[in-house]
Amino acid sequence: MTQKKPQNIEPTASAIDQAVSQPPSSEHTEQAKAQLAQTRPTNHLNGLKTMVEIDDLSFSYDMGKTNTLQNITLDIPEKQVTAFIGPSGCGKSTLIRCLNRMNDLVETSRITSGQIRIMDQNIHSKSVSPIELRKQVGMVFQKYNPFPKSIYDNVAYGPRIQGIKKKSLLDEAVEKSLRGAALWDEVKDRLKDSALGLSGGQQQRLCIARTIAVRPKVILMDEPCSALDPIATAKVEELILELRQDFTIVIVTHSMQQASRISDQTAFFYLGELIEYNTTEHIFTNPSIKQTEDYISGRFG
Ligand SMILES: Nc1ncnc2c1ncn2[C@@H]1O[C@H](COP(=O)(O)OP(=O)(O)OP(=O)(O)O)[C@@H](O)[C@H]1O
Ligand SMILES: [Mg+2]
């Protein structure tokens, strides 16, 4: 299927900037809310190929006694940036960690309803190993976490695990990934130095290079800029926009400005539920649900 971007998908920067600082004043009716609840929230993805399909997902950390995520239905399109926003504790990290089965590491966790399909494959089916899945669905964490190894060895780590031994192939993978993470020029003369000697922003880009070195399909980013200064943040944001050409990106962020600057779609969560999902432009300029409007305008959360 050819990918065609719906015309309304590109956020206009000025409209969004205005909306972020000044909430829209439109009335939101119960009828609009009911309409949204009835339809699978994918109408705005018209023409885009789905990469991740989340279907009626409920998730519990305590063997099903309480659900942290409640009946989430959400399609994430390929080669787009999808932002998850919502107040602290609403389940953004939990959901993102469901996508590469990181929550499996919590023994008492359970999917209590629904399923997740990535590239048309149910990620919980017996034939899917979590390790293989995590090669396809990479993750970049809030606190950059390079290994205490050289810059080169950090990036070569994944390819080596995949069985690449030949030096020329490893060199190529390292250079390509560091270029892809917009870090090559800054580190090309000190590849053998410890990764821990890099600045925070460089360490985060190194972690992104390490992630893309194994060529995943999806990159999950949980508040990747929250420990970075504005200059490093700008670099990572620029990088995310470039990576979108090759990867499907899901980013959790507390910064409304960041979501509006870099994402194509935005999903707003509250108390474990998906409240609203639409183009970023729609969410920030004309949200259909009052809770979304209150959140993006800073009235709660
Ligand atoms: N490993 C865990 N075991 C049990 N409960 C957990 C675990 N991780 C998170 N929770 C709970 O699940 C709920 C959702 O947490 P989650 O970390 O997904 O929220 P979040 O939206 O990412 O918040 P924040 O914006 O603060 O990062 C919270 O009530 C949290 O206490
Ligand atoms: Mg979180």
Is 202 near ligand 1, meaning CB less than 6 Å away?
no
Average pLDDT over residues 191-197: 98
Number of alpha carbons in the 13 Å side-chain half-sphere of residue 18: 10
DSSP string, 46-115: TTPPEEEEEEEEEEESSTTSS-SEEEEEEEEETTSEEEEE-STTSSHHHHHHHHTTGGGGSTT-EEEEEE
The tokens for 208 are 């992104």
Quick one: pLDDT at residue 45?
A: 78
pLDDT digits (tens, 9 = 90+) for 278-292: 999 999 999 999 999
Q: Return the residue matching tokens 């490893």.
A: 170
The preferred substitution site among 60, 61, 256 for testing ligand 1, maximizing ligand atoms within 8 Å of CB, is 61
Binned at pLDDT 50, 70 and 90, residue 8 comes out as very low
The per-residue pLDDT for range 238-289, each reduced to its tens digit, is 999 999 999 999 999 999 999 999 999 999 999 999 999 999 999 999 999 9
Is residue 7 scored above 50 in pLDDT? Answer: no
From residue 192, alpha-carbon distances to 64, 149, 174, 204, 213 in Å are 48, 9, 12, 18, 17
> What pTM was estimated for this model as a whole?
0.85
Query: In this structure, which amino acid lies at residue 143?
Result: K
Ligand 1 and 61: CB distance under 6 A: yes
Whether residue 78 contacts residue 107, with contact meaning beta carbons closer than 8 Å, is answered with no
Percent of the chain past pLDDT 90, that is, above it, reads 78
Q: Is the CB of 88 under 6 A from ligand 1?
A: yes
Bridging pattern class, strands 81-85 and 273-279: unpaired
At residue 23 the predicted structure's pLDDT band, cuts being 50, 70 and 90, is: very low
Give yes or no for residue 25 having a pLDDT over 70. no
